[in-house]
Protein backbone atom coordinates (compact mmCIF):
# COMPACT_ATOMS: atom_id res chain seq x y z
CA UNK A 1 0.00 0.00 0.00
CA UNK A 2 1.30 3.43 -0.93
CA UNK A 3 0.60 5.95 1.82
CA UNK A 4 -1.14 9.22 0.97
CA UNK A 5 -0.46 10.49 4.48
CA UNK A 6 2.17 9.53 7.06
CA UNK A 7 1.58 10.19 10.77
CA UNK A 8 3.55 9.71 13.99
CA UNK A 9 1.88 7.33 16.49
CA UNK A 10 2.44 7.28 20.25
CA UNK A 11 0.68 6.09 23.38
CA UNK A 12 0.72 8.71 26.13
CA UNK A 13 -0.18 6.29 28.91
CA UNK A 14 -3.91 6.84 28.49
CA UNK A 15 -4.63 7.06 24.79
CA UNK A 16 -3.23 6.60 21.30
CA UNK A 17 -2.22 9.83 19.56
CA UNK A 18 -1.54 10.19 15.84
CA UNK A 19 -0.18 13.47 14.49
CA UNK A 20 1.46 14.94 11.44
CA UNK A 21 4.98 16.32 11.69
CA UNK A 22 3.75 19.86 11.12
CA UNK A 23 0.90 19.51 13.63
CA UNK A 24 -1.89 20.23 11.18
CA UNK A 25 -3.57 16.89 11.87
CA UNK A 26 -3.87 15.39 15.34
CA UNK A 27 -6.27 12.74 16.61
CA UNK A 28 -6.45 10.63 19.75
CA UNK A 29 -8.49 7.82 21.25
CA UNK A 30 -8.42 5.33 24.10
CA UNK A 31 -8.58 2.44 21.62
CA UNK A 32 -7.28 2.12 18.08
CA UNK A 33 -10.89 2.08 16.86
CA UNK A 34 -11.52 5.38 18.69
CA UNK A 35 -8.34 6.79 17.19
CA UNK A 36 -9.47 5.82 13.69
CA UNK A 37 -12.84 7.54 14.13
CA UNK A 38 -11.22 10.72 15.46
CA UNK A 39 -8.69 10.66 12.63
CA UNK A 40 -11.44 10.42 10.01
CA UNK A 41 -13.09 13.50 11.55
CA UNK A 42 -9.78 15.37 11.64
CA UNK A 43 -9.11 14.55 7.97
CA UNK A 44 -12.52 15.86 6.89
CA UNK A 45 -12.05 18.97 9.06
CA UNK A 46 -8.93 19.94 7.09
CA UNK A 47 -11.17 20.68 4.12
CA UNK A 48 -8.68 19.04 1.75
CA UNK A 49 -10.71 15.85 1.38
CA UNK A 50 -14.32 15.56 0.35
CA UNK A 51 -16.79 13.03 1.74
CA UNK A 52 -16.45 9.77 -0.17
CA UNK A 53 -12.69 10.23 -0.60
CA UNK A 54 -10.42 7.28 0.02
CA UNK A 55 -7.07 7.82 1.74
CA UNK A 56 -4.25 5.47 2.74
CA UNK A 57 -2.69 6.43 6.06
CA UNK A 58 0.55 5.05 7.49
CA UNK A 59 0.98 5.56 11.23
CA UNK A 60 4.59 4.97 12.26
CA UNK A 61 5.16 4.34 15.94
CA UNK A 62 7.48 7.01 17.39
CA UNK A 63 10.22 4.84 18.84
CA UNK A 64 11.57 7.81 20.79
CA UNK A 65 8.48 7.63 23.02
CA UNK A 66 9.77 4.37 24.54
CA UNK A 67 12.29 4.80 27.39
CA UNK A 68 15.88 4.20 26.25
CA UNK A 69 16.48 1.33 28.69
CA UNK A 70 13.41 -0.49 27.34
CA UNK A 71 14.35 -0.28 23.65
CA UNK A 72 16.74 -3.22 23.87
CA UNK A 73 13.71 -5.46 24.43
CA UNK A 74 11.60 -3.92 21.67
CA UNK A 75 13.68 -3.06 18.64
CA UNK A 76 10.43 -2.46 16.76
CA UNK A 77 7.06 -1.69 18.27
CA UNK A 78 4.59 -1.50 15.37
CA UNK A 79 3.32 0.57 12.49
CA UNK A 80 -0.26 0.74 11.21
CA UNK A 81 -1.44 1.00 7.63
CA UNK A 82 -5.11 1.94 7.37
CA UNK A 83 -7.35 2.86 4.46
CA UNK A 84 -10.21 5.24 5.27
CA UNK A 85 -13.24 5.98 3.21
CA UNK A 86 -14.49 9.37 4.39
**Residue range 16-43, pLDDT digits in tens:** 999 998 889 999 999 999 999 999 999 9
DSSP secondary-structure letter at 72?
G
Q: Which helix (H) or strand (E) holds 43?
A: helix 32-45
Total count of domains within the chain: 1
Other CB atoms closer than 10 Å to residue 66's CB: what's the count?
15
Q: Please report the pLDDT score of residue 75 as a whole number.
A: 60
Range of the domain at 56: 5-85
Nearest to 57, CA basis, from 24, 79, 31, 78: 79
Residue-wise pLDDT for 36-53, tens only, equals 999 999 999 988 888 889
Query: Phi and psi for 65 in degrees, rounded to 5?
Result: -80, -10
Gap between the Cα atoms of 80 and 38, Å rounded: 15
Amino acid sequence: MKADLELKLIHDGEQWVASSNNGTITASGRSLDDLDEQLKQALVATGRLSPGSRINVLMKFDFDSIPTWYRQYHSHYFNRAVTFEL
